[in-house]
Amino acid sequence: MQAFLAILRYDVDQLARSWLVRSWVALLAIPAFFLVVVAANEEELASETLAAYTAAVYAPFSAIAVGVLAVGAVSGEAGIIVDSILSKSVTRTEYIAAKIAARLGVTLAIYVVVMVPFSYMIMRYAVADATVAGVVTGLLMVASLLVFLTTLGITLSTIIQNVLFAVLLLVVGVLISGVVLQFMGLEWMSTTAVISDLPRTFRGETPASDQVRVLIVFMSLSGLAVLASIWHFRYKDL
């Protein structure tokens, strides 16, 4: 347990100092501030503004940032892994569990710090066509997509050594699969369908059954990705 906490603290500290994380937060915060000003002066609809920000700003920037952070969790630290594990100072399970916890924790912390204040400001200053329940549900659904992307990236990190190729595979694979599933009518399994339907979700028009199904599907996939990461890392050659 001590080794897990030590790696977790070290990894979170390294991520907090990372230029990628700081740039990611800045790229999210600046457009958010701009949209709040526009919404307050141009009488924009809250649901449309929230959805547009999520689709045009948060989703693309976060897909790249989360992809790099998640994929670099293991494949980007091969030397550290060998030194730590082969010296018997930490077990494989402790190492990968700490990496998963750190990446998920930082990713969700940034999501909450950016999206919660932004949503509140938009609800206050834009035309209030969104419901509180709809916004909360929409934010939870986007968070489930974010968790899925992070855990899948960590899984790829344990399998593929080339970080850039793994990031490309992660982002393009999720995007293409989302489009294909949406075309097939499986919106509750499609990342692109969930994001494109956010205006209705924020207004509270999406059926509760569809919302619950999205949350169950993506959280289940995230759980499977975590289990796959731990299982594969425990038996892979270092």
| pLDDT at res. 64 | 92
Closest CA to 21 of 107, 147, 143, 97: 107
Q: Which domain holds residue 110?
A: 2-235
For the chain, the maximum distance between any two Cα atoms, rounded to a whole number of angstroms, is: 62
Cα first-last separation, the chain? 22
| Residue 127 backbone dihedrals phi, psi, to 5 degrees | -65, 120
Quick one: pLDDT at residue 89?
Answer: 66
| pTM as predicted | 0.90
- Three-state DSSP class for 43? coil
CA distance 25 to 22: 5
pLDDT of residue 153: 93
CB 58 within 8 A of CB 139: no
**For residues 221 and 103, what is the distance between their CA atoms, to the nearest angstrom?**
17
pLDDT of residue 106: 94
Query: Which of 235, 219, 9 has its CA nearest to residue 101?
Result: 9
220 CA to centre of own chain: 15
Could you tell me the mean pLDDT of each successive run of 10 residues in the chain, 238 residues long?
Answer: 81 89 94 91 89 94 92 68 56 86 94 95 90 94 96 91 88 90 84 93 91 94 93 74
- Name every residue whose Cβ is closer than 8 Å to that of residue 150 and which is 6 or more positions away in sequence: 66, 69, 70, 103, 104, 107, 222
Q: What is the pLDDT, as a whole number, of residue 78? A: 54
30-60 CB burial, b ≥16 within 10 A, e <16: ebbeebbeebeeeebbbbbbbbbbbbebbbe
pLDDT at 107 (0 to 100): 95
Question: What is the number of domains present in the chain?
Answer: 1
